[in-house]
A and B are shown apart, each in its own frame.
Chain A
Amino acid sequence: MKARNFRYIRPTSLDQACCILAEGGGDAVPLAGGQSLLAGLNMRLSAPKLLVDIGDLKELTGQSYEDGAVRLGALTRHAELLGSQVIQKHVPLLVRAAAHIGHVAIRNRGTLGGSLAYADPAAELPACAVALGATLALSSVVGEREVKAEDFFKGLFETELKPGELIVAVKFPAIQPGMAVGFAELSRRQGDFALVGLAALATMRRDRIGTARLAYFGCVDHAKVARAVSAAVTGLATPLPDTSAFEQAIRQDLTPEDATGLRADTKLHMATVLTRRVLNSLSEKVTP
């Protein structure tokens, strides 16, 4: 199908973009990589009156490492996550996750900020941002503010973003010695939406899990810390012989619903298997 009619504008500065978005109010939608937005427009799932193309704003680009955190501009493309040495060294979870986002052509265009703002419950990056304790820098005509990733995602495709507000950059705390990250995803085909996925950050004491911060995707309504599972796996020795230690916790954190071709209990089983797989991978990935 084709998108409905809309107007298009390409601001040349962040200030200008914020003014346009403020004036446009609820009718104006920012366009970055467009890999989710334009698919939705083509299928007429939404019909904004004005697209504000922020794809050229220099203020939203760049990668830097300082004070123990990596700051990535909102326009960082998924393909850049795969190819950056700074990210590989300090935020390896993003590299693991990016390989699962769509396909090459999608990763060449889609952006970090776009993925977080769209807040698809099956998307990889929102879960990573939550697991890693990232902070989002937002901007609007009112000014700038920072929001923690775990407070940013509010519900199904719902975020803390106010009308007229843009994600400028995302700050990810760098991985520290003794920490490990884990990532796994089940989808029907390579690059498809996740049926169940898991992003994990843990501190390891030899083969034992010290603390853990897990965030699921594909089987939750929005990215959030899986508190029950994170608590249940604390102190466990890996490799885990079975899944008994966290099966109950998974049922507390995840409440999937039956869908065509995929029952809720199947999803819970998949999440259980995936969780053990990720936890057992952690001890091999500890940062020296």
Chain B
Amino acid sequence: MTNLLGEEDVAIEATLNGKPLKRRVKARQHLADFLRQDMELTGTHLGCEHGVCGACTVMIDGRTARGCLTLAAQISSKSVETIEGLTDSGKLSRLQSEFIARNAAQCGFCSSGMLLTAYELVASGRKMSRAEIREFISGNMCRCTGYHAIVDAVEAVIAKNAKTSVGGKA
């Protein structure tokens, strides 16, 4: 009976990096694979593929999500933003500058996910201690630079934003 229900190819209509997206996707394909293979947006990385490492972090309707724990089919009627879109729009520019200034990216594998998580943190407008920043980014693993410089960079952006209190940029 079941083979009569549902589809192996699913039609989706969504927004990707601000542009409308209309496609057919494989039901079993997760969002990170769809972005990388079908859309050639390879800034979204894949590490563990079971939700532990955070390399595949994307934004869905403005909140971070695991690209490997979301099916491409699930994004229909939702808005997805990736490291490419957020970079082009300039929303990440402050974070990126501070990451570069403090050498908070070494191999770069975690950086896209780390930046998106940091963006959600900074955009929340909350003032956070270093311990709270560490907790917030605990779902994103870095295996080379270490977290110290990353926490420094996030802390610096929070401090700058507090001074200028200009919205929109992180």
Residues of A with C-beta under 8 A to B74? 31, 34, 53, 55
Of the stretches A5-13, A154-162, A247-255, the one at the interface is A5-13
Q: What's the Cα separation between A27 and B57 when bound, in Å?
A: 30
- Min C-beta distance of A46 to chain B, whole Å: 13
Residues of A with C-beta under 8 A to B50? 39, 42-43
Q: Are the C-beta atoms of A109 and B69 separated by less than 8 Å?
A: yes
Q: Are the C-beta atoms of B69 and A8 separated by less than 8 Å?
A: no
Residues of B with C-beta under 8 A to A39? 50-51, 69
Whether a CB of chain B sits under 8 angstroms from the CB of A108 is yes
Q: What's the Cα separation between A34 and B7 when bound, in Å?
A: 18
Whether a CB of chain A sits under 8 angstroms from the CB of B166 is no
Q: What's the Cα separation between A189 and B54 when bound, in Å?
A: 15
- Min C-beta distance of A11 to chain B, whole Å: 10
Interface of B is mostly: mixed
Known: A108-B64, A109-B65, A109-B70. A190 touches B135 (CB 8 A): yes
Known: A34-B69, A34-B71, A38-B70. A106 touches B51 (CB 8 A): yes
> Per-position contact with A for B9-36: 1 when CB-CB < 8 Å, else 0?
0100000000000000001101001000
Residues of A with C-beta under 8 A to B3? 7, 49
| Number of B residues, CB within 8 Å of A | 39
Which residues 71-104 of A have a CB within 8 angstroms of B?
79, 102-104
Whether a CB of chain B sits under 8 angstroms from the CB of A232 is no
Known: A6-B28, A34-B74. A1 touches B2 (CB 8 A): no
Interface of A is mostly: mixed
Q: Are the C-beta atoms of B5 and A7 separated by less than 8 Å?
A: yes
Of the stretches A18-26, A217-225, A238-246, A260-268, the one at the interface is A18-26
- Min C-beta distance of B7 to chain A, whole Å: 6
Whether a CB of chain A sits under 8 angstroms from the CB of B148 is no
Give me 19 other A-B pairs in contact (C-beta within 8 A), A6-B8, A35-B69, A51-B27 excluded.
A2-B28, A7-B5, A7-B8, A7-B27, A8-B27, A23-B5, A35-B66, A39-B50, A39-B51, A51-B6, A53-B74, A103-B54, A103-B140, A105-B139, A106-B51, A109-B69, A190-B138, A191-B138, A191-B139
7 contacts between A and B (CB under 8 A): A5-B27, A5-B28, A7-B2, A42-B68, A105-B66, A105-B139, A109-B69
